[in-house]
Every structure is written in structure tokens, then in C-alpha cells.
Structure 1
Amino acid sequence: MKPFTKWTGGKRKLLPQLLALMPEHYNTYYEPFVGGGALFFEISPENAVINDYNSELINAYQQIQENPVALLDLLREHETYNSKDYYLDIRAADRDERFVNMTNVERAARLLYMLRVNFNGLYRVNSRNQFNVPYGRYRNPKIVDVDLIHEISEYLNENNIQILNEDFQQAVEGAGEGDFVYFDPPYIPLNETSSFTSYTHEGFSYEEQVRLRDTFVDLTNRGVQVMLSNSSSPLAVELYQNFNIHYVRTMRTNGATKDSRGIITEIIVTNYD
């Protein structure tokens, strides 16, 4: 399977390296920063706990699982009326009472529609938690993917998949010996002028990166196999200097600036050989 939406920091281009570094055998799969779920959908585990702090994204996963038909009907409606003006009106729903009156499936359809037609498929909100990405320039965006939505819905319902909307540390509380955790947090910026922010309204500070490293250590002590992606920032390398650090080259296509796009070096950290 493939992800049902674009997502900032998605890992589709890094899949070969991630798959090569994964453990061969594990029990339950955990992904506390699931995002678009590129690795999750690629391996399609029978037992998994997926989580993200972004409640709108997790609601989309839940609606695909529980209400795929209603979701597709709403996406068809968005497809029918899609235009720049229509998009801007839908985007503005979180600036008035419309958003709080939407059903869960309406919110999911709104999100998936916006991510299909906006600039670079970005999820970005302002300080008031209002979506603010401009309309994209796609000639024929695929807003409705019937087969994929039904395929993902069937997979989520036919396997033991827990979908959580919690803090990353809470999401791995149940992980034990023989399980596998993949962390894909908001990356530490490569340059000093960048701020520690993320796709969550609350942000992801350096202190959170340290807490994540401490969680990595705790899981290691519990016998859990752990893999983590991050930038090749000296800060990231320093945080994980006691573990196995693999440098990989990948293509980033949706960076905020020209300098953050193109071939870049990232790290993949593992606590196993």
C-alpha cells in the first residue's frame, strides 16, 4: 500500500534505506510519529500501534477505517467544486464557526482535499492554529482515490492496528522485548537560524528532542528494537553518539526554501546491529 496523503517529512524516498536497516523479526510494530505512514503502509504489519500528535491527521486515519464510503462521497464533492476560490473558502472554515460544527468525517475530507490541491501538499498552521498553505498549481490533482481508500480501510479493520493521538512517549508505553519502534520526529534544523518547530501547533523543541533520545534509551533498556530518522545536524549526531548512526543520502522535494530541497544527508539511528 501507499500513503493516502502527502505529508511534510514523508519517507517514501527513504524507504529502501529504512527497509534495509529494519530488523528481520519483531512482534508489534510501533510508529509514534506516523505522519503519512510511508514505512507503515509499505510493510503492512499485522500488529501495530500508530500514533501522531496531530489530531486532524489521526482523525483522517480513523475515518478511513470507520467511514470510507462517506469520506469518498465528500471527497467527490470537493473534486466537483475544486478551484482556487473554493479551496480558500474551505481553508477558511477554521477561522469561523464552520469547523467546530463539522462532523469527524467532514473534517477528514476537508484535510485530505486540502493536502491534495495545496502548495506542495504541506500541512502548516499559524499561531492561531489556522491552516494557511496557499492553493497549488496542479492541473489534474487526484482528489478521489477509491481503490486506495478502500484498501487501507480493509487493512486497518482486518488487522490488529491501534490508532492513537497521544504524546510519543505515551504511545510506546506498551512496547516490550521483541517489539520494534520506528521514530520519525520533526527533524532538528541543519542551520542555526532555523527554529525548532513542527507540523503540530505545539511545536517540537530541542528539549523535546532530548526527551525523545531519553525515550530511545529507555526502550533500549527494555529490550525493544528501535530505529530513528533525523537530520545530519551535529546536535542530532551528538544526541545519538552511543548508538549506531547510519548516514544516508536522499532527495527532499518539499522543503520550505530552495536550500532545503535537493539531495541531502540524513541519519538513521539503530540500537541493534
Structure 2
Amino acid sequence: MKTPLKWVGSKARIMSQLLQHLPSGKRLVEPFAGSCAVMMNTDYDEYLIADVNPDLIHLYQCIKFDADQFILDAKRYFELSNDECSYYQIRSGFNIEPEWQWRAAMFLYLNRHGYGGVCRYNQRGHFNVPFGHYKKPYFPEAEIRAFAQKAQRATFICASFEETLKMVRPGDVIYCDPPYIPQNPTANFTQYHTDGFTQDDQAHLSHMLHLLCQQGYPVLASNSDTYEARNLYAQFTRYTLTAPRSIGAAKGGDSSARELLAVGV
């Protein structure tokens, strides 16, 4: 199932590979919400979905609370002219808009009209993704309605991975899809909200997941297939997945990337 948002690194296109390793359980815990492709393509009784990006979490909360109203609000922006000037006016308005209802609608507009599904902020916390120059951006009404239905099983919270992982309880399955370790210096084009996701964050995450494994929780973590990632997850069972990529591939070049899936039980 597709999701309302375009998203760099979305797991929608590798779900068939990922599902082979996701165990059964009562609740799926995801400290890095992303596009919620894993939630939409699994069938757990409950979901705990977290992210440090309040725009992302409030969008999901708005859809869950009242999908019809969210669709009406978001359509108002999609019905405006699809041109560069309109995009940058809405982006400027989004960066000063205090009302979460309108920020959520504008966030969907920016996601669908901005470049490549990138979600990036500058150090002042301003969304700064450039215009995408798409001929006719798609309004994902069917995906919003499907999401709203599935979201009734979910709790969405704005929290760090550390805070979220402290909330796990017996019966939970944990899946982490953090910002990836760059495979090369030019690959690090995303900003994880305003502060970035550092090497120390990567190490702290892997350490917490290892401790949860020792406590008996089933844990999965995705990352780029690099030496650093394999070293961080050396005590996990590691698999290589092949993921399509739409950004960073040269025309006529390799359009897929190797990803690491670390599994601990």
C-alpha cells in the first residue's frame, strides 16, 4: 500500500523483502516514522509511531482525527497554481504558520510539490526544500483515507528514539529506520529536522537496540550497507537488501542501492 507522503528512503518498494524478517507481535514500535510505509503494509494490533519532526507527527494526527477535514484543507493548496512562485509563497507561509491544522495541510502540499520527497530544514527550523517542477503533482486522497483507517490502531508521538525505546513493553516488535549513514560525502543530502543525525546518535541507537535484544525484544534496524553500519550491528544477524533509489543515481547508471537489515532476537 502506498502512503500519503513521498519520502526519501521509503520502505514501500522493499516491503516484500522486509516482511520476511518482521516477526509477529502485538504492537509494532517505530521510533522513526518516515512515510509510515511499514505501518501501512503490516497487520499488527497496535502501533507506536514516533518522530522528532513535529510537522510529520501532526500531519498524521490530523489525518487520524478527521481525514475529511484534512482533505478539504489540503486540496485548497493543491488547487492553486502549480508554479515556482506559488510554491515559495506557501513555503514561506508554512515557516511562520502557528496553527497545526494549516501547517499539516501545507506540509502535504510542500511534500508533493517539492523536490524528490526530500524533507529538510535549516538551522532556524525552516523548511527549505526547493520546488520540484512536477507537471501535475498527485493529490493522494485514496492514500489519506486508507491511512486514516489504519491510524485508528496507532499512537503518534513527537519524541526522540531514546524516549520512544524506553516505552517498549512485552509483546512489542521494534523496527528502526533512522537517517542512513552516508555511503559517500555527497550522499548526505538530508537533514534530520534541525540538528542532523550524528555518528554518536547512530552508535547510541545501536547500543540501545542491543540492550533491548538482550532483554528478549525482537529488533530490526535498517541502514546503508557500509563498513560503519556493519560494525555497529556486528552482534546482530545481518542481511543485504536491494532497494530502488530515485535520488542520487546518475542517468543511465545504477538505480538501486544496497541496504543493511540488522535483525536481533
TM-score, normalising length: structure 2:
0.92
Q: Is the 8 A contact 1:70 1:105 kept in 2?
A: no
Q: For residue 254 of structure 1, report the CA deviation from its aligned partner.
A: 2.4
Q: 2:57 is matched with which residue?
A: 58
CA-atom RMSD in angstroms: 2.1
Asked whether the 8 Å contact 2:25–2:44 carries over to 1, the reply is no
Q: Secondary structure at the match of 1:64?
A: helix
What amino acid maps onto 2:147 in structure 1? I
Distance of 1:46 and 1:197 partners within structure 2: 32
From 154, 161, 168, the counterpart of 2:161: 168
Q: Per-residue deviation at 1:196?
A: 9.3
TM-score, normalised to structure 1's length?
0.89
Aligned to 1:75: 74
2:105 aligned residue: 109
Show the counterpart of 1:213. 206
CA deviation vs aligned residue, 1:66-97 (integer Å, no higher than 9, x gap): 132221112221122132211110011255xx
Secondary structure of 2:17's match?
helix
Q: Please give the alpha-carbon distance, in whole angstroms, between the structure 1 residues aligned to 2:257 and 2:143.
A: 30
Match for residue 28 of structure 2? 29
State the Cα deviation string for residues 193-216 of structure 1 (Å, max 9, x = none).
Answer: 665963321111000001001111
1:19 aligns with 19
**Are 1:136 and 2:136 an aligned pair?**
no
Instruction: Find 2:227's aligned residue among 222, 230, 234.
Output: 234
CA distance in 2, matches of 1:197, 1:36: 15
Match of 1:253 in 2: 246
Could you tell me whether the CA contact under 8 Å between 1:184 and 1:229 is conserved in 2? yes
- Give the percent of matched residue pairs that are identical in Structure 1 and Structure 2: 29
The AA in structure 2 aligned to 1:77 is: R
Cα deviation, 1:191-243, whole Å, max 9, x if unaligned, reads: 25665963321111000001001111121122110001001111111111111
Separation in 1, partners of 2:221, 2:141: 32
Query: Conserved in 1, the CA contact under 8 Å of 2:236 and 2:264?
Result: yes
Q: Indicate conservation of the 8 Å contact 2:29/2:49, yes or no.
A: yes
Structure 1 residue matching 2:174: 3-state secondary structure = strand
Cα distance in 2 for partners of 1:271, 1:15 equals 19
Partner deviation per Cα, 1:155-197 (whole Å, 9 max, x = no partner): 222x3x2111101121122323432100000001112566596
Asked if the contact 1:50/1:162 (under 8 Å) is kept, the reply is yes
Note the C-alpha offset of 1:261.
6.8
1:119 and 1:212 map into 2 onto residues whose CA distance is: 29
1:153 aligns with 2:152: no
Separation (CA, whole Å) in 2 of partners of 1:253 and 1:264: 10
